[in-house]
Amino acid sequence: MTSGKPPAGADKPPATSSKPPATSDKPAAGLPRRRQRLSDQETEQRMLAAALGMVHRAGLTVSLDHISFEDVIREAGVSRSAVYRRWPYKDLFFSDLLKELAKGSSPAIAGTNPRAVTAVNRILLERLDWLTDPGRRMALAGEALRQSALAEFETFHESPEWRTYFALHATFLSLPDGDLRDDVQTALTTAERALITGLATSYERVTQLLGLRLRPQHGAGFTTIAGLASALIRGLVLMAPTNPAVATERFDANPFGAPEQASWSPPALGMASVVLSHLEPDPEVEFDEQRLATVREAIERGDWAKG
């Protein structure tokens, strides 16, 4: 992921000089102003935050070669001497940056997808009366997935943070064997576990709200289903640049017994097919006015999407 050998002179601390840095700010009186001394920890945090922002704006692609160490120092607003004290070689910094990226801790990745949550809430509230018919419960789940899957796909497709996260997954195997590769793999595994667990929890809550249950004969739990659905959407995101129809194609269909046809996208059909193949109406659940009111309140509060 990182470039090989650092350029000549870039891997050693700069020579000390009695002159102030050329980029030092000066007050109106013309006297040089001393840069506030930061702790090593503050320097590290600023450098990593600046580099993360640069990577997320530009994307990771298959390397970090497009990220300049000097640009990171400048954007972080820290002294070069403090940076080289913390990372004597620039490759050590880029190793730490890779591990930070692998954590998937940016709000765009670790947080709930608001577009998908809004889409699901709207669909459920508009068609709440479908719950009184066991046959239409599956159709309602299909409609919720039709909207949320497209929102999820579009978020992944448009987000530099998600593109970087996917690129890191796809290319970390190119790292040489050793501690760095092990650390990146551990960070990716931990981040993935958290993401899939959160998605599985949302699926389970919506399933219960809609009076559905897992098909006993399938044996798969919500974590497995969430992993499969996520993998499908990510695969379509990776295909989209060379197959634009994945993102743009729409077709009228009614695959899950809704009263009318609706416009489906490939991501929506794929995700709904994966998820609903594992679900069925729960024969022990009946919806009366009181239960419908309880479900409405839960949806309006967004209970199903809370961590």
pLDDT per position in the chain (307 positions), as tens? 444 444 444 444 444 444 444 444 444 444 445 556 788 889 999 999 998 888 877 665 546 777 889 999 999 999 999 999 999 999 999 999 999 989 988 888 887 888 888 889 999 999 999 999 998 999 999 999 999 999 999 988 888 888 888 888 877 888 889 999 999 999 999 999 999 999 999 999 999 999 999 999 988 999 999 999 999 999 999 899 899 999 999 999 999 999 999 999 999 999 999 999 999 999 999 999 999 999 999 999 888 887 6
At residue 1, the pLDDT reads 44
Q: Is the CA virtual torsion 205, 207, 211, 215 positive or negative?
A: negative
Residue 54 is which amino acid?
A: M
Question: For residues 169, 173, 175 and 181, what is the CA-based torsion angle, rounded to 10 degrees?
Answer: 80
**With respect to CATH, is domain 40-102 assigned 1.10.10?**
yes
45 burial type by CB count under 10 A (0-12 exposed, 13-18 middle, 19+ buried): middle
CA 238/CA 229 separation, integer angstroms: 15
What does the pLDDT read at residue 34? 53
Domain extents for the chain? 40-102, 107-305
Output the pLDDT for position 172: 84
